[in-house]
Structure 1
Amino acid sequence: MELLLTLVMASVLMTTNALSVEVDQVRQLQENYEILAGKFHQLETKFQEQESTLRIFEKQIQDNLNKNSEHPPLSQNALPRTCQAARAANSFLTSGLYWIDPDGSATGDEPIRVYCNMNTGSTEVLHDSESPMDSGHCASPGCYFRHINYKASSRQMAALAELSVQCSQSIKYDCISSPLERNGISYAWWNDRNGNPQYFWSGSNSRVHVCQCGIEQTCFENDVRCNCDSNAKLQLVDQGVITRKKLLPITRLNFGGTHRANSTGMHTLGRFECDGRLSSALNKGFPTSCADLWRNGFVANGLYSIKGSKQVEKVYCDFNKLPSEPDFQTWIGYEDVKSHPVFFQVQKDADVLPHNSTIPFEIELLNVGSAMDISSGVFTVPRSGRYFFTLWGIKDEAAKGTELSLQLNGVQIAQTSSSYGGSYSTYSLQTTLNLQGADQISSSLTSAAIHKKSVSTYSTFFSGWLLEEDIFKN
């Protein structure tokens, strides 16, 4: 019995010793893990520092390349406003850095240095966030943000957009478990030129959260509009081109939802790029606004004549402002512009007896513009516009009543008559007409007769003149 107790005690003692050894081993392993974790953190920190240093070196190299590709000013007097304008002036220019002045010489902000793609004529504005950048690790929406600093003032970029039919900016986001939007929560967005948040990542539809894969319906998962919105723990990418010109350039990027251990987010923002092509409407000859004048190089504030919807208008242009700013254009009124004056007055000096016949005239009192043919009594409209006509006279004492009409291209459009009783009754007709070039106006006798009695007392007169010319139809 004592031997059995001795054996049991020895076994318990051995087990206790073994457990003590295992505990010591666990403690040692824990200490080793903490040491290794600390060393790993130090290595990760050094790696990030080296990566940051490498990016600085890459930027310096790129800056040196850009400096080597920079071209001297194209003109000693006035710089081109866009790269497209520079290429149009000299088709032999090569791509590289150039100085341009979008808001016009002798006014506005200082000129800017841009990259000109002379193959396409596009203008590219550089900024400090063109290389891939890590959005870090944080949980809340927009907890990471980066302001975009451009190598141009906001005014110059707005002017460049005004001078261009199209502007765009590309954006790319490499992600692992880093949603742009999930469960109705927007973790990422960008701010437009006015600082307003925008949640679309390609195209021009600012009303919906969407990426290029959502537009093309090719996203990694069918129920999402962006690849990065997927729950898949895989390396994914969303990239697109923002084409809503009035919102560009992008001024700030915001990302969040990257707090998971395996989450990564890397953003790459392209340059602000504009084609520099003026609207084709400017090639039609007549400016329709102060903006047209500004795009054509006018910089002096003052009164200008422009093509209105129906006739020439007078406006005041404040070229110290951009076309998108208030009071850039102030409407003054309409202008009485005629390419040449048109007015006539003719008189009868002979009897007219046949009914329904065009009335000829014998006396030409006035015929500026030579549009009235007195022998036929037909006025041929020389210029499209608005005309006033009057037909008046005193009937012969012997005539019972006289009816006359006005004809447009042989069709009656107005009528007048004198009374049947009494002597020396008058008749008159006035009308204002919108006419096209080559239209014909004439007067016609429809009843009774016109008799010559006395040129000085009893006469029939026909007059007309151009009130407003529609110069844009001629």
Structure 2
Amino acid sequence: MNIGNCTEPGCYPRQIKYNASDRQIQALIQLSDDCFQYIWYYCRNSPFKYNGTVYAWWIDKDEKRNEFPSLENCDNLNDTLKFHSYQIEDKDKLPVTRVHFSNPFKGSGKHKVSRLYCSGKAKTQPMPRSCDDLQRMGHTLNGIYSVRGAKQIETVFCQFDKRYVEQEFQERIGYQDIKTKPTYFYVQKDKNFAERNVPLPFEITIVNIGGAMDLPSGVFTAPVNGTYFFSFAGLAQFPMLTGPDPVPVQRELGANLYKNGERIAISQVNIGYLVYPDNRSPITLQSTVSLGARDKVWIQLSIGISGGFLYDERHSEVDQGSHSHFNGWLLEEEI
């Protein structure tokens, strides 16, 4: 095509027409590994850019202006006929929708725009992350789909009759509570326990789905990354102080939640000096914790002045136990 004799920057426009619809072209680009398009230009005293003024450019699929690289064979105003070939390989810009040229110095210019060439099959994620990935995999029907989000499986509504750059192409609806491995436990004690600075062991398993809780050690090991909830309840006992004139003291017992050796939560019972025997008080603790796979969590006692312990005597006919309970479960998995 001859650009004629107009002299203003970009005054010659040419809309590029294709025999396929925009939707078909974009589907082809997304499904292909490589795509490219050529713009050829024959010039005589017809520059792309001269003395800081841009005279020629091309428009991409999003109606954005793109300049040609400055090349001597067109920009040096040589009176000899020169040829320039420009290849576009950026799939996010293809296809070319319009070209603009100018002939400010009364030379001559002729252009040619090639077909859109695509080859190969585009690679997609093993698990799709967007409607774009789903379309690359061959999905064409509008509907609700599951995709992999940043941390959870998410639900999206895909409108494949829209272009993927349009806002309506993908609408996120929410996330799905997907767990690759069910994890929850409920364990109990049946013995008194008064050791400090060690994980609290348990003797009775009510449920331990996933096997993440180890009773003899009292340690829970997270199987996957995620958010977990833990709850502990026990009965703190403080024996009566003896002697002719016992000194009043503040007596305390704490239940601490530890993560990888660091205390992250505490619940504590404080009791003043009392004369009647076997003072008992409930102690509870709840916490929501973010854990990585293989992180370890346990309960550990802290015992203050004049002692105290967790009371559990399952053998007693009166007190059938158990008074100490520990349970937890995976709230939400991060993928």
The interval holding the TM-score normalised by the smaller chain is 0.7 to 0.9
Q: Which residue of 2 aligns with 1:119?
A: none
Instruction: Give the corresponding residue for 1:463.
Output: 327
Q: Return the letter of the residue paired with 1:460.
A: S
Is 2:92 the counterpart of 1:241?
no
Distance 1:155 1:243 in 2: 19
With over 3 angstroms needed to count, the CA separation of the structure-2 counterparts of 1:370 and 1:458, relative to structure 1, is closer
- Structure 2 residue identity aligned to 1:177: N
Contact 1:192 1:251 in 2 (8 A): yes
Counterparts of residues 41-440 of structure 1 (less than 5 Å): 133-142=1-10, 144-164=12-32, 166-183=34-51, 185-195=53-63, 197-198=65-66, 200-201=67-68, 210-211=69-70, 213=71, 219=72, 227-257=73-103, 260=106, 263-279=107-123, 282-283=124-125, 285-396=126-237, 398=239, 400-421=251-272, 423-440=279-296
Cα distance between partner residues in 2 of 1:304 and 1:194:
26
**What's the CA shift for 1:387?**
0.8
Q: 1:398/1:240 Cα in 2 relative to 1: closer, same or farther (>3 Å)?
A: same
CA contact (8 A) 1:341 1:368 kept: yes
Work out whether residues 31 and 137 of structure 2, in 8 Å CA contact, stay in contact via their aligned partners in 1. Answer: no
Aligned-pair Cα RMSD in Å: 2.7
Q: Supply the distance in 1 between the matched residues of 2:295 and 2:11 (Cα, whole angstroms).
A: 72
Q: Equivalents in 2 of 1:294, 1:156: separation in Å? A: 12
Aligned counterparts of 1:462 and 1:366: Cα–Cα separation in 2: 11
Letter in 2 for 1:468: E
* CA displacement at 1:276 relative to structure 2: 4.4
Matched residue type, 2:156: V
Distance 1:142 1:393, change over 3 A: closer
Q: Distance in 1 between matches of 2:12 and 2:225?
A: 65
1:142 Cα deviation (Å)? 4.9
CA separation in 2, counterparts of 1:386 and 1:277? 39
Q: Distance in 1 between matches of 2:65 and 2:262?
A: 64
> 1 CA distance for matches of 2:177 and 2:195?
41
Return the alpha-carbon distance in structure 2 between the equivalents of residues 452 and 258 of structure 1.
97
Higher mean alpha-carbon deviation, 299-308 vs 241-250, is at 241-250
In structure 2, the CA distance between the partners of 1:195 and 1:424, relative to structure 1 (3 Å rule), is closer
1:456–1:272 distance in 2 versus 1, CA, 3 Å:
same
CA distance change for structure 1 residues 319 and 461 in 2, over 3 Å: closer, same or farther?
A: same
* Structure 2 letter corresponding to 1:419: N
Query: What secondary structure, in the 3-state scheme, does the structure 1 residue paired with 2:128 have?
Result: coil
Q: Secondary structure at the match of 1:231?
A: coil
Deviation at 1:153, TM superposition (A): 2.2
The residue aligned with 1:446 is 302
Paired AA for residue 451 in structure 1: Y
Aligned equivalents of 1:191 and 1:313: distance in 2?
A: 35
User: Contact conserved, 2:187 with 2:325, CA < 8 A, in 1?
Assistant: yes
Give distance in 2, aligned partners of 1:141 and 1:406. 72
Partner of 1:108: none
1:240: Cα distance to partner? 1.9
Q: Which has the larger radius of gyration?
A: 1
- 3-state DSSP of counterpart to 1:438: coil
Provide the secondary structure at the position in 1 that maps to 2:267.
Answer: strand
Taking the aligned partners of 1:335 and 1:229, their CA distance within structure 2 comes to 58
Q: 1:177 to 1:452 in 2, by over 3 A?
A: closer
Shift of 1:414: 2.6
Do the aligned residues in 2 keep the contact of 1:452 with 1:459 (CA within 8 Å)? Answer: yes
Question: What percent identity do the matched residue pairs reach?
Answer: 39
Deviation of the 1:350 alpha carbon: 0.8
Equivalent residue letter for 1:452: D
Per-residue CA distance 1:355-377 (angstroms, 9 max, x = gap)? 32322212222222222222222
How many pairs were matched up?
312
Higher strand share: 2
TM-score (norm 2): 0.81
Alpha-carbon distance in 1 for matches of 2:52, 2:297? 71
Cα distance in 2 for partners of 1:186, 1:410 equals 66
Q: What are structure 2's unaligned runs of at least 5 residues? A: 241-250
Cα pair distance change 1:304/1:347, threshold 3 Å: same
CA distance in 1, matches of 2:150, 2:62: 32
Query: Corresponding residue for 1:54?
Result: none
Match of 2:245 in 1: none
Q: In structure 1, the residue corresponding to 2:74 is in which secondary structure?
A: helix
The alpha-carbon distance between structure 1 residues 144 and 301, as it changes in their structure 2 partners (threshold 3 A), is closer
SS across alignment from 1:294: helix
Q: Which runs of 5+ in 1 are unaligned?
A: 1-132, 202-209, 214-218, 220-226
C-alpha displacement at 1:273, in angstroms?
Answer: 2.4
Q: Could you state the TM-score of these two structures normalised by the residue count of structure 1?
A: 0.59
